[in-house]
Amino acid sequence: MNVEVEAIRQKVIACTKCDLSKTRTNSVPGKGNFQSDVIFVGEAPGRNEDKKGEPFVGIAGQRLSAALESAGVSRESIYITNVVKCRPPNNRVPTVMERDMCHDYLQKEISIIKPKIICILGNTAFNSILGGSEITKYRGKIVKKDKEFYFLTVHPAATIYNQELITVLKKDIIKLFDLIRELKNGRKIPVDIDYTS
């Protein structure tokens, strides 16, 4: 474990910056390989994550694992986190205030791990990180903002009620890892949208 990642983990576990600390069972810090080329960012923990204190361990997590598997990638080889680290009651979408209060942790995870690309899972992460909306329209695209690259895809939970989306998610994750391989071979990232102001 990297000492800096561990320090954030401990801060998240003890955090009481917003009211979600009052209703959570456990905070859910990011988890995985701190040397990963990619960080996956979801919305917020759900019931199972809140119980276990780990991200993406419920049905959405199974969908994500299946998509990774289709790209030949193990869960352990990547790093997974969320925009908001504590479960919102009844799985409601986290408020702008909650996202703002929690943002510093994600910022730090990114600055320590320095991924080649950040994979945004679904609308809440898209909106929180890039101010975007309509993920289904933009999914599969590569975004550049300031010095970071982002890859957009649907939220794994969205595939539970929509069978077509599991195919979409798998296709996107395969594209993402093809892209990472090309990057490692020195190819420039083919940016679709530049959000740099």
Applying CB under 6 A, among 5, 8, 9, 15 the residue interacting with ligand SF4 is 15
Phi/psi of residue 180, each to 5°? -65, -40
Which residues of this chain interact with ligand URA, rule CB under 6 A?
A: 42-46, 49, 55-56, 58, 60, 82, 157
- How many residues appear in the chain? 197
Residue 27 makes contact with ligand SF4 by CB under 6 A: yes
Task: Give the residue among 97, 112, 99, 108 at the shortest CA–CA distance from 34.
Answer: 112
Nearest approach, Cβ of residue 49 and ligand URA (Å): 4
Q: Bin 161: left if φ > 0, else alpha if -120 < ψ < 50, else beta.
A: alpha
- Other CB atoms within 10 Å distance of the CB of residue 7: 12
* Interface with ligand SF4 (CB under 6 A), residue from 50, 54, 98, 109: 98
Q: Closest CB to ligand URA among 20 and 188?
A: 20
Residues that bind ligand SF4 (CB under 6 A): 12, 15-18, 20-21, 27, 84-86, 98, 101-102
